[in-house]
Amino acid sequence: MDQTFASSGTGPGIDAGKVAALADEVLDWRFKALPPAAWGLSVRDYLATRPGLADLGTPLLTLDAAALDHNVRTMAAWCADAGVALAPHGKTTMAPALWKAQLDAGSHGITLANLPQVRVARAFGVQRILLANTLLDPAGLAWLAGELDADPAFSFVSWADSTESVRLMDEALRAAGAGRPVEVLVELGGPGGRTGTRTVEEAVEVAAAVLRAPTLRLAGVGGYEGALAHDATAEGLATVRRYLRELAALHTRLSGAQADGEPVVTAGGSAYFDLVVEELGGLTDARVVLRSGAYIGHDDGFYRGISPLVRGTGERPFRSALHGWAQVVSRPEPQLALLDAGKRDLPFDEGLPEPQLVRGGAALTGTAARISTLNDQHAFLRDAGDLAPVGAVLRLGISHPCTAFDKWTMIPVLDAADAAEPQVTGLVRTYF
C-alpha cells in the first residue's frame, strides 16, 4: 500500500543495519579529528582502544553523549505532550546515526533541504522524508520517481510556491513516466522572507494548479517562520504569530481539497516551535509537523538565548552538546593569544565561539577572556591574562549547530565534556 507523509504513527524509520555498518568504516587521514594512531583501524576497533580527549589533536569539535541524549528525549517528550509530530531537520547534522536516535525516540520522519541530502537519507533507508524546498531538476525528479515506484513504503513530500514550479514538476514527472504522484505542500512565505507565496490568495492558486496536475497530489501546506524574525522581542514574536495565523487560514481555505488522507500543516524551526504549537496545535483536522533540527546539538550562543525552553517555562532546557577545542599556539602580545581553530573548524555566522575553560585548568566563563575574531585557521583570544599560556588547550562554546557539523566528517563523542579527563565513546559520521 502506498504511504503518505501524514500516515498515522511514527511509521517506518531508517535501516538500522546500514547505520550499524558505519562502525566498520576504516579510519585514515580523511578525518581531521582523528590522530594517526587511529589510521587503519575500523571505528569499532579504534573505540575499543578507549581513547581519551587528550589523545586527540586540535583543532577539534566534539559532542557530549549525555547532552545529545537529553536533547533528543526532551524534544520528543515536548512534542508528545503538545500533540504534534516532529520531522527534525536532518540538514543540521547530516548524520544518519543521529537521525536514527531521533527516529527511535519517536520522530515522524526526517526533513531535508535539497536533493543531495535526500539521496544520503535514501542510501540509509530513511522511509519518510519531507523536503522543505521545491524540487525542479528534471534529472532529480526522474530519480525521485524511480525511488517512489520501486518502494511503495517510501513516503515523500516536497513544496511548491508558484504555478510555474507546479508546471515544471509535472512536465518532468510525466517525461520520467512517474507511476506514483509526488505529494506537494503549498508553501506560504511572508514579506521579506525566503521562498513561499506572499499571500494566501496566491497560495490558493498554486494549490489549484497542483490539483490539476496528474503527477502531483496536494498534501497540505507548509512554511518557515524563522525567516521572518531573528529575536525574541515583542515585535519579533508578534511577526511570527501573524505569519502562523496566515498559514492556518490557508489550511482552512484548502480544507477538503486533498484527494484523500490527513492533510499536513508544517512549520517550526528551533527558535519558535512553541508559537507554532500555540497557533497551529488546535487544527484537529490536520497533522501538525514541526521541523526543528538545531535542538539536538543546541549551543552556547544564538539558540541558548532564543530557545522556547529557555524563554518559555524553562522547565526542561536543552543542553549544549557541541564544543570546540583549540590550543594556544602564540602569545605575541600580553593580552592576545592565537588559537589553532578558525572559520574552517568552528561556526561564526551567528556569533563567535566563547572561551569556557582551560583543559585541566582554570574556568574562563565569567572572566574577561573573549574571542574577538576568527581567521581561516586561527582564533584571536583576548584578555585571558595568564590563564591561557602557550600550549594550553581551551574548550570553546559555539553558536549555531547548523554551521558546526558541516565542517567535520567524523565527530568524536565524549562521555562528558565537563569531566577532568573526557573519554571518547563514539564517532559520528556526517555526509555533507
Q: Which residues pair with 289 in a beta bridge?
A: 85, 266
Q: In this predicted structure, what is the pLDDT of residue 1?
A: 33
Cell numbers for 108: 515522524
Same fold, 20-63+318-429 and 68-296: no
- Considering only CA atoms, which of 173, 289, 190, 181 is closest in space to residue 240? 190
SS (H, E, C) 368-384: CCEEEEECCCCEEEECC
pLDDT of residue 30: 97
* Closest alpha carbon to 324 in 395, 252, 226: 395
Give the residue among 282, 279, 278, 271 at the shortest CA–CA distance from 307.
Answer: 271
Q: Are 424 and 411 in contact (CB under 8 A)?
A: no
Report, in angstroms and rounded to the nearest whole number, the Rg of the chain calculated over CA atoms: 23
Give the ranges where 214-345 is alpha helix by DSSP (H).
234-254, 273-280, 302-306, 308-311
pLDDT at 261: 79
Cβ contacts of residue 51 below 8 Å, gap of 6+?
37, 38, 423, 424
Tens digits of residue pLDDT in 285-305: 999 999 999 999 999 999 999
Residues paired with residue 185 on neighbouring β-strands, in sequence order: 159, 220
Spell out, as residue ranges, where the chain has pLDDT lower than 70.
1-3, 7-12, 258-260, 312-315
DSSP code of residue 181: P
3-class state of residue 77 by DSSP? helix
Residue 411 carries which DSSP code?
E
Class of the CATH-defined domain 68-296: alpha beta
101-152 residue pLDDT tens: 999 999 999 999 999 999 999 999 999 999 999 999 999 999 999 999 999 9
Residue 327 β-bridge partners? 393
pLDDT of residue 4: 72
* Whether the model pTM is above 0.85: yes
Cβ neighbours of residue 275 closer than 8 Å, sequence gap 6 or more: 225, 237, 240, 241, 244, 308
Who's near 404: CB < 8 A, 6+ residues apart?
Answer: 61, 297, 299, 322, 346, 347, 398
The pLDDT value recorded for residue 310 is 82
Domain boundaries, the chain: 20-63+318-429, 68-296
Of the candidate CATH numbers 2.60.40.1840, 2.40.37.20, 1.20.1250.20, 2.40.50.430, the domain formed by 20-63+318-429 belongs to: 2.40.37.20
- Do β-strands 322-333 and 393-397 pair in parallel, antiparallel, or remain unpaired? antiparallel
Instruction: Calculate the alpha carbon distances from 272 to 15, 148, 238, 292, 308 in Å.
Output: 31, 33, 11, 9, 6
